[in-house]
Structure 1
Amino acid sequence: MGSRTIPTLAGCLAAIALAAAPAQAQKRYGPGAADHEIKIGTTTPYSGPASAYSAGAVSITAFFAMVNERGGVNGRKLNFISLDDAYSPPKTVEQIRRLIESEEVLFLVNPVGTAPNMAVLKYINQKKVPHLFVGSGATIFNDPAHFPWTMSWTPHYASEGEIYARHVLTEKPDAKIGVIAQNDDLGRDYLVGFKRGLGERASSMIVSTQTYNTSDPTIDSQIVSLKASGADVLLIAAVPRFAAQAIRKAYDIDWHPLKFVVSVGSSISGAIRPAGFEASKGVISAAYQKDPADPQWKDDPAMQAWNVWMDKYNPRIDKSDYYAPYGYNIGFAVVQILKQCGDDLTRENIMKQASHLDMELPMPLPGIRLRTTPTDLRPIKQMRLVRFDGERYVLFSDVLASE
């Protein structure tokens, strides 16, 4: 693997300063790029049922503010245009069209949500706009043969679901499993992977599957039905708002199955705290980044640098929010792509550099590295299991490959 240098805030700033040196190659610009500016766009749910996810865009914005304060990348400031789509696919279509056709951004970074991104996937690829680090682990966002301009960020939902299934088979092989899943590709992908992990036993072990729509006010009736099924394991494939409802309702009706909450719904600030720490005790999830609330990282240089950055640039986001380090890591990766591009800021070169990444980010768990190739655009392929102990998530597994 070669040397293993952990990025810190100081290291990032030094790299940005180096990147500000004049490049010798001839300048080539695509839409949204100029001598002094690079336009980057995203959509995120600042409002609506998945508004907890907006902390990621807020954190990316804060990271770019830090970069700009230090002179930008290769002397160019990053103009990050972040629009609210309320997690509504029709609104996403409207806002993505605005970013590409009116704002003329050079590329898109981390637009959030499976259904919202599905609504614009073909359009973005037809327009040949880099669609980077999509805020979804749906498998369709790693399909370079059909959608060569799109790449995910989050480890794939199906692979994560398989990890949970393997744990159930090991720890509770006679389980009766209930599932509550979002009624879209997010929920379906998790369920596909979970069933794949259970193998031929899936049909006998899963005793009830309930779904919900993000427009639903509550999922109380679904949780009551799952308890009535006799399930002693509960898989919650939901965004934070509904994950919180599922955890809380199960606790309120005195139902205490072994609970799994998928990583995208596991945020302490977005799901665990609203559900209640006592109600959430014992919840299992999967993680690929360090938890700022975990005391084992208190002396970690990258975590210390992140805390300094949070205090100065991102104070409006709670440090316990999953999407604060998430946005920070994405910011590092974007800066690396732009550094590799130099003065060739065309959409084609953005995509070329994004598909040839091999770097260590500051906040992933040890052993997890960002790598992409033209035939596998998944940046992050590994996770570790964690369990909420009533105060924080505690690691309890080795690195698990997400193939």
Structure 2
Amino acid sequence: MLSRRSFLQSSAAAVTYLASGARPGWAANAPGISDTEIKIGQTMPYSGPASAYGVIGRTEGAYFRMINETGGVNGRKLNLISLDDGYSPQKTVEQTRRLVEQEKVALIFGSVGTPTNDAVRSYLNDNKVPQLLIASGSNIFGDPEHYPWTMGAIPNYQTEAHIFAKHILQTKPDAKIGVLFQNDGFGKDYAVGLRDGLGADHEAMIIKEVSYEVSDPTVDSQVITLQSAGVDTLIIAAAPKAAAQAIRKAYDIGWAPVRYMTYVSASITATLRPAGLDKSKGLIIGLFGKDPTDPRWKDDPGYKEWVAFVSKYLTPSELVDLNAVAAFSYAAMLIQVLKQCGDDLSRQNVMRQAANLRDLELPMLLTGIKVNTSPDNFYPIRQMQLATFNGESWELFGDVISG
């Protein structure tokens, strides 16, 4: 039984504690959380075959520095520990275990890649560590029933493939479709989504599918195989390096199919310039973010916010990199989640708030595209708009489409 003396002593201590400005409750019990800090971990391919995506981690780190300079989130500064995994699943496992077991991070945020994130998904879910807003649109990262601690950040790859299929049926119903895909969950999602989008009556339009490995030095032979098969409509489901090679090789051998390409390789900096801007004309993609090279946005308030951010925290090369633009939005999404958490920064509440985003508008998302999640829908962005490359920028056409 608590005596009156003990009660008075504990009450006095509580008053003193609260008067000191310290926070009671959740922060002390949540890994990676203190009264002054939120510790966040991620893995990034700063080296290796997907190093073009390293800009995502650099941009997110810069965004968190900006937030810290304005006081942090609910009075706590963000400490991002971003480790290189070289886009190697084995390395991702090692680095993620280090982040969770040694660095004691509160959550994993924004890690890049389908095979890499898949390699640690079960480990993070078994240990109830949020694997939040990861940079992959694979269908496997939107399964709250079986993996309630994992949530992607970008549109489902199958959604974009559905959109491509609909556009092909409308504009080229006699198309002979070929698919170049990365031989993992990322690339295979496009093949699945394309077949589903075409439907049973039209899936025979796909006459050739050719895969490549991330470790392959080039995809030249795959491109030649697709040309030889009589393909006149090409789906490029490849990371920036392989996508650039495919664009360049097709042009160099005089092959000019209608070309659709995954949005994760839409960066002019990382993909189109290495391929050749002239060789990239006519490419079609689905976009959810504003293209900084498109003059239509020059007076847009969101674009001006992006320019101000880049001028202070990044370099001119990042200004037009769509990977950096996407990371700007991912970081803003996490900040909103943490703000909604208040002082309850338990891992359970972090996931609860991540699944409770409502019509969130962000500066560099296309007009009309909003972020929405729920306990049974872990795909924050589910809308896209088709765009074609005109030699200088991505030119939007049609309407915003929901997947």
The normalised TM-score by structure 2 is 0.92
Q: What do the CA deviations read for 1:168-218 (whole angstroms, capped 9, x no partner)?
A: 010000011111000000111111000111112444211111100000000
Cα distance in 2 between the residues matched to 1:83 and 1:24: 30
Q: Which residue of 1 aligns with 2:92?
A: 92
Cα distance in 1 between the residues matched to 2:376 and 2:400: 23
Q: Which residue of 1 aligns with 2:10?
A: none
- Correspondence 1:378 to 2:379: yes
Cα distance in 2 between the residues matched to 1:381 and 1:74: 29
Q: Which residue of 2 aligns with 1:323?
A: 323
1:374 maps to a residue whose letter is P
8 Å Cα contact 1:317/1:324 also seen in 2: no
Q: Which residue of 2 aligns with 1:9?
A: none
Compared CA separation, residues 372 and 203, structure 1 to 2 (3 A): closer
Q: Which residue of 1 aligns with 2:165?
A: 165
Q: Provide the secondary structure at the position in 2 that maps to 1:133.
A: strand
Unaligned runs of 5+ in 2: 1-20
Q: What do the CA deviations read for 1:221-254 (whole angstroms, capped 9, x no partner)?
A: 0101111111111100001111000000000000
1:99 maps to a residue whose letter is L
1:293 maps to a residue whose letter is T
Cα distance in 1 between the residues matched to 2:42 and 2:317: 18
- Correspondence 1:273 to 2:290: no
1:371 maps to a residue whose letter is N
8 Å Cα contact 2:23/2:35 also seen in 1: no
Q: Which residue of 1 aligns with 2:107?
A: 107
8 Å Cα contact 2:27/2:35 also seen in 1: no
Q: Provide the secondary structure at the position in 1 that maps to 2:319.
A: coil
Identical-pair percentage? 51
Q: Which residue of 1 aligns with 2:235?
A: 235
Cα distance in 1 between the residues matched to 2:200 and 2:374: 33
1:338 Cα shift? Answer: 1.2
Q: What do the CA deviations read for 1:100-143 (whole angstroms, capped 9, x no partner)?
A: 00101001111110000111110000010111111111111010
Q: Which residue of 2 aligns with 1:199?
A: 199
Q: Which residue of 2 aligns with 1:368?
A: 369
Q: Which residue of 1 aligns with 2:285?
A: 285
1:336 Cα shift? Answer: 1.1
Q: Indicate the structure (1 or 2) with the bigger Cα radius of gyration.
A: 2
Equivalent positions of 1:114-133 (< 5 A) are 114-133=114-133
Q: Which residue of 2 aligns with 1:346?
A: 346
Q: Which residue of 2 aligns with 1:224?
A: 224
8 Å Cα contact 1:55/1:317 also seen in 2: no
8 Å Cα contact 1:294/1:393 also seen in 2: yes
Q: Provide the secondary structure at the position in 1 that maps to 2:200.
A: helix
Q: Provide the secondary structure at the position in 2 that maps to 1:386.
A: strand
The normalised TM-score by structure 1 is 0.92
Equivalent positions of 1:182-197 (< 5 A) are 182-197=182-197
Q: Provide the secondary structure at the position in 2 that maps to 1:318.
A: helix
Specify which structure has the bigger relative contact order, considering alpha-carbon pairs within 8 angstroms and separated by 6 or more residues: 1
1:62 maps to a residue whose letter is A
Q: Provide the secondary structure at the position in 1 that maps to 2:122.
A: helix
8 Å Cα contact 1:23/1:343 also seen in 2: no
Unaligned runs of 5+ in 1: 1-21
